[in-house]
A and B are shown apart, each in its own frame.
Chain A
Amino acid sequence: MSAVLEVKDLQIAFGGVKAVDGLSFEARENEIIAVIGPNGAGKTSAFNCITGFYKPTGGAISLNGKDITGKRPADIAAAGISRTFQNLRLFPDLTVLDNVRAGMHLYGGQNWADAIFHTPRFKRSEAHYTDEAHRWLDFVGYTGPRGVPIRNLAYGQQKQVEIARALARKSGVLLLDEPAAGLNYTEKQGLLSLCRRIRDLGTAIVLIEHDMGLVMELSERIVVMNFGHEIAEGTPAEVKANPAVIEAYLGKDEEVES
């Protein structure tokens, strides 16, 4: 298995404060990696660097061997990374289906003239979009209404839709920022199986997560960050036993244990 996403010595500073300082990891096909660390460790900043929302101040990121460091988010998305956000970033006034269609923007298949004249090409392409949207909603196990604005839906459903949207992008790498936050036990179990099914599609998953139980059960490798530094990397068992990790989580024992 080759590395799809490669992050080398990533650094980002905000006005002198180094949010990420020397993060390196690789993600391979069919693999789930977790990035963990206490609040403020720089995990989300690292995600934002990888997806182009922040310009890294140092280091390199490559995708399938191509350097994507510092490119704009849309180009990185086109290159093959999709993501979810820590706090839901859906399009609240748009329907569930439209939200998922957002992930399919790069499918193309029609242009503005097709739209204005409703050419057969346009109709085919729209039908395809709709089918795909339904397919991905089914895939994530979404059972709620699909033609209504998403802001009316329950939180768990919104989380499902956000993942469906990211999946619709059909990219090789999926970054999930705290996918389990705010979910109940059943929903977390659903998430667990969903992640595995996504992995089985051949996708590399990198997730940020605070729920240690979930992380330990799901991920093949774990990267631990603290104060912007990478303090450990390894299998769940290795990380659990690492004294630096235990120290970083001191006072948060219950999370490690749970």
Chain B
Amino acid sequence: MKITKRSTMLLGVATAVLLATAGCSGGLLGGGGDGGDGGGEESGPIKLALVVPISGSSAPTGAYMENGAQLAVDEINDDGGILDGRMLELDVEDEACDAQQSVAGANKAVSNGAVVSVGGYCSGATLPEIPIFEKANIPMIIPAANSQDIVNQGAKNVFMINGTGKQQSTAALTFMKDQGFKTVALVDDNTSYSKDINTETAKQIEEDGSVTVALSTSVTPGESDYSAVVRDIMGANPELVYWTGYYQEGGLIINQLMNAGYTGKIMVADGSVDASLSEIAGAGAEGVYATMTQTPDTLEGAEDWIANYKEAFGSDPGPYSTQSYDAVRLAAQAIEDAGSTDGDAIIKALEAIDGFEMFSGPLKFTPEHTLSSGGFVILVVKDGAFVLEDDLS
């Protein structure tokens, strides 16, 4: 075994190097655990974790969310920050809509000393983040992910400021009944968000009994040709098609439906409410309904906000820009109310919040930490833009 000596030496050197560097950072032997509770720091910028998809097929939405959040951070910092002048800082991490990436991102944010999480887009990726943030006692204000599964987790640090699938489905059904639609086709894109709304709507329709589901189906996102679902819809011939997925595929499906001679109405869920929907769908998008929380486009006095956003980022706001913006503002408010960056205090402050003005209306959390009212309204596409059709009140 003539090599043994050399290997032992190698091992020794490696050990020495490792132990030598151990002194300077948070190893098991070092200070220990300084990563887990960055909230304890009393000065310097306050970090907000934003774990959103930066790469992968959901990357576009991640960018909208990042911009929305950044806008809020900039505004707050321009006003002098919070807690007597401490600045806010976004810690943007990629989730790529993948559990593994999101766990890595969440862990990194925790290690970086984030105080509140204001991200969360793909439900499948957000779910595994919950135990990580919960353990680190970091409140999560989830702007987008709204699967019922998140609510069912019952984690005390989780707050959802997007209407849940249930609330959206209720709004959709109310509108269907108001308009007298008798048969609907429910189409989702096989993501958890979209499927959630589909399932929930189907359930509520069945309980209600006055509308019939003519077709309930899923498509695979990321493709261009949706002739199969178009054929199915034409075959089922519903009075209304309710698309619960995102605008990329939504635009294509609307266009292909119209080309196929579909004459009924189309309604989309909030993931499809985007200026690009009518660009992609072309003329066919005119008259398409949408279930949506209030957006800057539909709110009076929000033109300034849109202008600010455009000025800062050179493009129009997109899906969840507003929610992310509100999530940051809410986080700032809660930290201010709590008077510290301590997780428990912030959670208490969030639970106590009442009437905080957001795009979706005044905020008060339910005991489940969801919005007391989804704030859903019905929009319609007119001249290529979404405008308010029915506030359902």
Direct A–B contact present (CB less than 8 angstroms)? no
Where the two chains meet, the residues of B that have a C-beta atom closer than 8 Å to any C-beta of A are none
